[in-house]
Homo-oligomer: A and B are copies of this chain.
């Protein structure tokens, strides 16, 4: 086995599984679960001193590679055999740009919005209005305008250069496959669609749907396990779960938590009551949000959180 993927649930490493499936090369997954705080577990520190996912081990070269953008570049450069690089040499600049933009610009703002959203829940209830005011100020003055500018830019690029979202960020390779820009961009756009930004332009949804429809993406999803950034109904085994808990029960609540912070057989209990009771005690780092849900896709996505 040449490549081992150190795969953390609900993380950037899902993009590495997608790439490896597109490449059709042999790999092994080593699964890691987030802590109760939602952070990466200490075991990842044994693989690389930064302790983050994704990480891959290339056993042939006896090498550990970290950092999404570097992993995607590494795999394509060493094992791509000329595929997954733009067919049009003029688009190489776009490929490099979006590879960097995904983690250097778009993700940092999305992560900051997530971290700020968790502050009020960590405060004693009598000062929580102050926490809400801080979050509201930072969002309106800084994060929301920044995210709107970036998502509008991405959507415009998809319209202008990528057939309204039906094409690839750098035009695809000689066989019409995605290139490194796509493997990098899909994750922040999934994150944005799964609740971080509202009213996203249609081209972004079109693009992410195109990614999710790839047979290679579906295979990666099945091997990676439940994934918080895709509606439950579109995940392996998801439809079965939807039958256990009617969508109406979660229609007006969205509660997200690390899988291992949930009780083992949540669908035997009153799931909503349980989750509501958990919110004040949710640990720092957990993904917590309360909002009215508007679409059936969102509702299905929320149910992901109730899975055991």
* Any B CB within 8 A of the CB of A134: yes
Q: Is the Cβ of B104 less than 8 Å from the Cβ of A122?
A: no
Task: Name the one of B107, B115, B142 contacting A285, with C-beta atoms under 8 angstroms.
Answer: B142
How many Å from the CB of A26 to the closest CB on chain B?
A: 21
Output the nearest chain B residue to A106 by Cβ-Cβ distance.
B50
Answer whether A137 and B122 are a contact pair too, CB < 8 Å, given A97-B67, A112-B115, A130-B127: yes
* Any B CB within 8 A of the CB of A156: yes
Which chain B residues border A142 with CB–CB below 8 Å? Answer: 115, 284-285
Task: Name the one of B105, B111, B134, B141 contacting A134, with C-beta atoms under 8 angstroms.
Answer: B134
Stretch at the interface among A147-155, A210-218, A261-269: A147-155
Q: Is the Cβ of B152 less than 8 Å from the Cβ of A138?
A: no
* Any B CB within 8 A of the CB of A100: yes
Answer whether A93 and B70 are a contact pair too, CB < 8 Å, given A131-B134, A142-B285, A156-B49: yes
Q: Is the Cβ of A93 less than 8 Å from the Cβ of B65?
A: yes
Within 8 A of B (CB), among A121-160: 122-123, 127, 130-131, 134, 137-138, 141-142, 149-150, 152-153, 156
* Any B CB within 8 A of the CB of A103: yes
Measured between alpha carbons, how far is A97 from B134 in the docked complex, in Å? 36
Measured between alpha carbons, how far is A96 from B99 in the docked complex, in Å? 12
Q: Is the Cβ of B93 less than 8 Å from the Cβ of A74?
A: yes
Which A residues contact B (CB, under 8 angstroms)? 49-52, 63, 65-70, 73-74, 77, 92-93, 96-97, 99-101, 103-105, 107-108, 111-112, 115, 119, 122-123, 127, 130-131, 134, 137-138, 141-142, 149-150, 152-153, 156, 284-285
Supply 24 A–B pairs (Cβ within 8 Å), ascending by A.
A49-B152, A49-B153, A65-B93, A66-B97, A66-B101, A69-B69, A69-B96, A69-B100, A70-B96, A70-B99, A70-B100, A74-B93, A74-B96, A103-B103, A112-B112, A112-B115, A115-B138, A123-B134, A127-B127, A130-B130, A134-B134, A141-B284, A141-B285, A142-B285
